[in-house]
Amino acid sequence: MTTTSTATTLAHVDHVSRRFGSQLALDDVSLDIRSGEILGMLGPNGAGKSTLLSLLQGRRRPSSGTVELFGGRPTDARYRARLGSTPQETALPDTLRVGEVVDLVAAHFAERVPTAELSDEFGFADLLRRQCGALSGGQKRRIAVALAFVGRPSLVLLDEPTTGLDVDARHGLWAAIRRHRAAGTTVVVTSHYLEEIEALAERVVVIDRGRVIVDDTLDAVRSRVSSSIVTLRTSDADRVRELPGIVMSQPSEAGGRLELTISDSDEFVRVLVTSGLAFEGLTVRGSSLEETFLALTDTSSTIHSEGIRS
């Protein structure tokens, strides 16, 4: 991958680990966030996505390694002047009115989007006089995401921005995120929905158990993900696994069966038949995105690994 000369590194995470007591939330993570991209951060709940964002926001310090934001430590408030983010769990102060919260957050930035413009864009113009405690979850979510953009930031971190939104609201939010991306804002969006990352991101980082296990373009990840599951019984598992086109193999739970993740199942079946290897009970089915993603984040499965018993 080649970045153009205009792309700059907005944030730089270098061999960062973060512990909470005995629990290792991030394990030697290195990551650059470059200007002009939407970076999708994918991973199951508890994988370390939010911890990584909290380090970028300067809310927490790494246990080891360094985090740089706009060329400085994010724990120094000055380096957060061009960073926008959303409150976690969409918590807004219950007794403040929506307009007051928008103005309070906006007061931290040299340039701001006028409240009327922001509330029109994110669809809460009719809620400005309401106290935040009276809002529904979906309304809070839209306002929380809007707050990330109020200071015209260069880099926006969105943690699970559309959780709990209905389909219409979700698509509306995606459109807004894309508009800001087109206007030059760099966006990092975490999600445990593949669909969301597919809809938004150009680059995908998959985090699992505190480690970055994939960092690639969306197209590359998608091609890994759009695959088929072939299962068969064979007495010659070792040689079957050496056939081309296998992304991942694991012994099936059902005993004696081999389950293969295949990028091109038609081609694989042709190769399998012509190889003359013995097999029976062949089934082919398309793997769901969710399934392959789970396989990617499941360490019990073996990727191109030796030593599989048939």
Partner 1 sequence: MTSTTTTTSALDAPTVSPLRLYRAHVRAILVETMRVPIAVIGAMAFPAMSLLFFVVPNRAVADDPVFATQAVISLSVFAVLASSLFNLGLSIAESREKPWDPYLRSLPLSSTVRIGAQLTATSVISLAAIIPVVLLGALTTAAEVSALGFVLGFAVLAVTSIPFLLIAVCIGYAFASKAAIAIIQVVMFGFAFAGGLFLPPQLFPEWLDAISRFIAARHARDLVISAAEVTAPELWVLIGVLAWTVIAGALAVWLYRRDEGRRYR
Identify which of residues 111 and 298 has a Cβ nearer to partner 1 in the complex. Answer: 111
Instruction: List the x/- string, 222-261, binding to partner 1 by CB under 8 A.
Output: ----------------------------------------
State in Å, rounded, how far the first CA of the chain is from the last one: 38
Residues 196, 189, 53, 116, CA torsion sign: negative
- Nearer CB in complex with partner 1: 88/235: 88
Considering only the stretches 89-97, 171-179, 229-237, 289-297, report the one whose residues sit in contact with partner 1 under the rule CB under 8 A: 89-97
Dist. CA 308–CA 241, nearest whole Å: 9
Shortest Å distance, C-beta 192 to partner 1: 18
What letter would DSSP give residue 131?
B
Binding of partner 1 at residue 64 (CB under 8 A)?
no
| Binding segment toward partner 1, per CB under 8 A, in 9-17, 187-195, 222-230, 268-276 | 9-17
Q: How many residues bind partner 1 (CB under 8 A)?
A: 54
CB 190 within 8 A of CB 160: yes
- The alpha carbon dihedral of 53, 173, 88, 209 has a sign of negative
Question: Does 9 participate in binding partner 1 (rule CB under 8 A)?
Answer: yes
Region binding partner 1 by CB under 8 A among candidate stretches 59-67, 221-229, 277-285, 295-303: 59-67
Angle between helices 137-149 and 167-182 (to 10 degrees): 0
**Does residue 23 touch partner 1 according to CB under 8 A?**
yes
Residue 109 binding partner 1, by CB under 8 A:
yes
Q: Could you identify the residue written with the tokens 């970076």?
A: 39
The full DSSP string for 234-295 is -S-HHHHHTSTTEEEEEE-TTSSEEEEEES-HHHHHHHHHHHT---EEEEEEEPPHHHHHHH
Q: Which stretch binds partner 1 (CB under 8 A): 6-14, 135-143, 161-169, 265-273?
A: 6-14
Kind of pairing, strands 23-34 and 9-20?
Answer: antiparallel
Asked if 176 and 122 count as a contact pair (C-beta separation under 8 A), the reply is yes
Give the residue, chosen from 15, 30, 64, 107, that forms a contact with partner 1 under the rule CB under 8 A. Answer: 107
Q: Which stretch binds partner 1 (CB under 8 A): 15-23, 170-178, 235-243, 280-288?
A: 15-23
Phi-psi region of 225 (alpha: psi -120 to 50; beta: other; left: phi over 0): alpha
Query: For binding to partner 1 (CB under 8 A), which residues are involved?
Result: 1-3, 5, 7-10, 12, 20-21, 23, 32, 34-35, 54, 57-61, 68-72, 77-83, 85-89, 91-93, 95-96, 100, 103-105, 107-111, 131, 154
